[in-house]
Chain A
């Protein structure tokens, strides 16, 4: 197990196997998303309260879920890189950040579009979930800004890992404090409707999309990490040999 782990973590090996793994995740991911989107938009019954507007959850919920997931991956990878000095882990963290920020943005954008017919406004300050997502987006910005500000990659890796680990604790506290805050200001509870009470015809496409998005995300992470590894190892011998090798042997 440990040996396998080590081998996987070696940059050349990872570079070689990543496309395969990426594809293995991508194909079922796309299939699930195709089903989820089609079933969600055309087959699922209309919500008796929200009409067709609710259908945006098929994008909104997976995005919101992945925005948190990406942050966790970023922090855990950073922690692994910091403690076991694994270079690949830092590359994973570096490539997870923009993806996470993007999903956070998607969650905010879809939430806002959804909010328009629901609350009659594009942005409802008192909604705790939207506020948590917004603060999460700020966390991502801070993380990427810190990375960008440090020239030395190794140093940027370690500093941003510390920030991500501190942030993980704080994201949780932010969530609770925002929930408490919105309860003081008569928060909206429209969004608290998902869950077991959902009609299976609505639920299955949503689950399919959540899994599909997760697989797609995994595939994208692998691809981005692969590029990141190539860039970081640009001065090493294996990269030079690979670039110089004749087509077909790479």
Chain B
């Protein structure tokens, strides 16, 4: 029945198909995309309420607050990365598809970043302005958030893959991901602070870029291994 020259989908077609499917799913359920954004905005509102609304206070803590809020929002969105696929059985279908699993996982992570990291980057200027951040610093913030959230999505995919299918998954995921994400937070927030203080900050940008490239090349393999283990 099968002809020897049958058409085998290319290596990247799985990646593209998964990314496209997840984007389509996000489109049909916009709440999943918006909730982390609202969360981000609300955490940023909590700080002035708790610490005080003075201008110095806000300028001083702004970079840190925005970064912590972004990190937590990413964490919230990561929870659902593999869960629905695990629950409806489409994850096991992906595991036995002829597509390389690291690329399939990468496809999901790309779509996750497009629906969580990118919106955060786009919303951050609005919040940053309320924290009295000057325009050029806002650009630095957006750049660090872009590079940082890419790393967070990739690192988070490892944690999400390790905890998928576990009862206490949500709390556990934070416990696994937060220590992993500390370097991103440290570099990201402090780079913005340096920029706000008119100091040289390019080292931080390079470090974040290097970190993003590093996670991009290694994390998909860890995620794939974790997915196989979680589905046993």
Which residues from chain A sit less than 8 Å from chain B, CB to CB? 82, 135, 138-139, 141-142, 145-146, 149-150, 152, 154-155, 158-159, 162-163, 165-167, 169-170, 173-174, 176-178, 180-181, 184
Return 11 A-B CB contacts under 8 Å, by A number.
A142-B175, A142-B179, A145-B172, A146-B172, A149-B163, A149-B168, A150-B166, A158-B232, A166-B222, A170-B180, A177-B183
CB proximity of B104 to chain A, nearest CB, Å: 17
Which of B167, B211, B232 sits near A155, CB closer than 8 Å? B232
Chain B contributes a number of interface residues (CB within 8 A of A) equal to 31
Besides A146-B163, A149-B167, 17 more A-B contacts (Cβ < 8 Å) are A138-B178, A139-B179, A142-B175, A149-B163, A149-B166, A154-B232, A159-B226, A162-B222, A166-B155, A166-B180, A170-B179, A173-B183, A174-B183, A177-B182, A180-B186, A180-B190, A184-B190
Q: How many contacts between A and B, using CB within 8 angstroms? A: 79
The answer on a CB contact under 8 Å between A142 and B176 is: yes
Which residues from chain B sit less than 8 Å from chain A, CB to CB? 155, 158, 162-163, 166-169, 172, 175-176, 178-180, 182-183, 186-187, 190, 193-194, 207, 211, 218-219, 222, 225-226, 229-230, 232
Give the residues in chain A near B211, CB-CB below 8 Å.
173
The answer on a CB contact under 8 Å between B229 and A159 is: yes
**Contact A149 to B182, CB < 8 A, known contacts A162-B162, A162-B225, A162-B229:** no
Chain B residue nearest to A144 (CB atoms) is B175
CA distance A139 to B177 in the complex (A): 9
CB proximity of A100 to chain B, nearest CB, Å: 14
